Amino acid sequence: MAAKVSAIETIRVEEFPNLLWVRVIADDGSDGLGETFYGPGAAEAHIHDIIAPYLLGKDPHRIEQHQRHLTGYVGFSGAGAEMRGRSAVDIALWDLFAKSKDMPLHQALGGAVRDSIRVYNTCAGTRYVQNRPTQGTDNFGLDVSSDGYEDLNAFLNRADELAASLLDMGITAMKIWPFDYAAEATSGHYISPRDLATAMAPFEKIREKHGDRMDIMAELHSMWDRPTAIKVCRALESIDPLWVEDPVFMDHLSSLDEVARATAAPIAVGETRGGRADYRQLLEMESLSLIITDIAWGGGVSEARKMAAMADAWHVPVAFHDCTGPVVLATSTHLALHTTNCFIQEMVRAFYYGWYGTLVTQLPPVENGMIRAPEGAGHGLSLQPDILKRPDCHIRRSAL
């Protein structure tokens, strides 16, 4: 007899107000762990109000059927609360399935095409995106008092030293966002020659000191209008970026297309989109150089692997986002090992060597700039048992 989903639990801790975990538990004792990030209350409500009444009592191994059913009449695209809730549940279902077959997730997906994959470092500080999101502000979270890697402060002030420290660890690609101050000052409608020069300086310092030993990505966080984005992208051509990410707000694709066609810099977008139709529209533009997806924002493992296959048919590589939580990093690593048109995995060393390890039982090992799957079945991670006993831990349960 097939197992049945008997309970769905959501777990939050106040210390990390953007993180939400979900446990899907079956009546044969199997379980899986999922995760999503941002607005956890809304995603949690969707899981208990809409997903649980459907999923309880169902065979947890029929992931494809559930993915189809949980794609709602509303909330089927973008990265809204319905999509984030569905994504977390999908990750948990894949973990449960792979664990119940006693295989690592990449094996359950059809096998790895590589044993490890190159990482790039997103140069955030330890507390970056750790506060409750305040729309449109607080993009920096500069906290020089913390004792971890303060890579955001470092890229603003000593990017060449930061690059040297990454190269020492074997990490040969880094992403920075020194244009954001200028964008905030003008709501993205103008950049002065002086601000442009200030924002270019970190890139130039890295190139001057380290030449082509370091690949550099410029993150623009969708903050610029069309003409100013073009100006910024054209300036970045001089340092030969690996990609320029999210030049304009992602609600008007012809604007994005215009920017991509106006610059020789490779343009990458996608982490704020969700569902395969969103990605089809991006690929149909025929002007993007890389598609990014966040598996916890875009529809889970099920949707991300389909998106990646679709991108492959366009001869476009993909990359999976990490700047959120450890379960997403581990699950993305499995998916990256399985995905032919993926050449690099994002990580944030300030999170990885900071707080990620305090929440889960293990992390995907990173050595000499390469990440590989953790030991064990499923994605390999469980929450640290003491998380559930913390006074600031809140668990909500829907059960048969």
Contact residues: Mg ion, CB under 5 A: 245
**Which residue's CB is nearer to Mg ion, number 180 or number 303?**
180
Among candidate residues 359, 356, 373, the one with its CA nearest the CA of residue 124? 356
In the complex, what is the shortest distance from the CB of residue 271 to Mg ion, in angstroms, rounded to a whole number? 5
CB 171 within 8 A of CB 369: yes
In the complex, what is the shortest distance from the CB of residue 305 to Mg ion, in angstroms, rounded to a whole number? 20
CB 174 within 8 A of CB 203: no
**Which residue's CB is nearer to Mg ion, number 37 or number 97?**
37
Q: How far is Cα 36 from Cα 301, in angstroms, rounded to an integer?
A: 12
**Which residue's CB is nearer to Mg ion, number 290 or number 360?**
290
**Which residue's CB is nearer to Mg ion, number 245 or number 278?**
245
In the complex, what is the shortest distance from the CB of residue 221 to Mg ion, in angstroms, rounded to a whole number? 7
Identify residue 43 by its one-letter amino acid code. Answer: A
How far is the CA of 211 from the CAs of 59, 163, 205, 206, 215, in angstroms? Answer: 54, 11, 9, 7, 9
**Which residue's CB is nearer to Mg ion, number 160 or number 245?**
245
Q: Say how many C-beta atoms besides its own lie within 10 A of residue 146's C-beta.
A: 14
Positive/negative CA dihedral, 362, 367, 371, 372? negative
Q: How far is Cα 217 from Cα 238, in angstroms, rounded to an integer?
A: 13
**Which residue's CB is nearer to Mg ion, number 100 or number 222?**
222
In the complex, what is the shortest distance from the CB of residue 297 to Mg ion, in angstroms, rounded to a whole number? 11
Query: In this structure, are strands 318-320 and 290-293 parallel, antiparallel, or unpaired?
Result: parallel
Identify residue 5 by its one-letter amino acid code. Answer: V
Q: Count H helices, E strands: the chain?
A: 16, 14
In the complex, what is the shortest distance from the CB of residue 246 to Mg ion, in angstroms, rounded to a whole number? 6
In the complex, what is the shortest distance from the CB of residue 291 to Mg ion, in angstroms, rounded to a whole number? 12
The single residue listed with the structure tokens 């890389």 is 290
**Which residue's CB is nearer to Mg ion, number 82 or number 180?**
180
In the complex, what is the shortest distance from the CB of residue 324 to Mg ion, in angstroms, rounded to a whole number? 11
In the complex, what is the shortest distance from the CB of residue 388 to Mg ion, in angstroms, rounded to a whole number? 31
CA within 13 Å, CB half, 116 = 13
**Which residue's CB is nearer to Mg ion, number 51 or number 323?**
323
Q: How far is Cα 267 from Cα 342, in angstroms, rounded to an integer?
A: 16
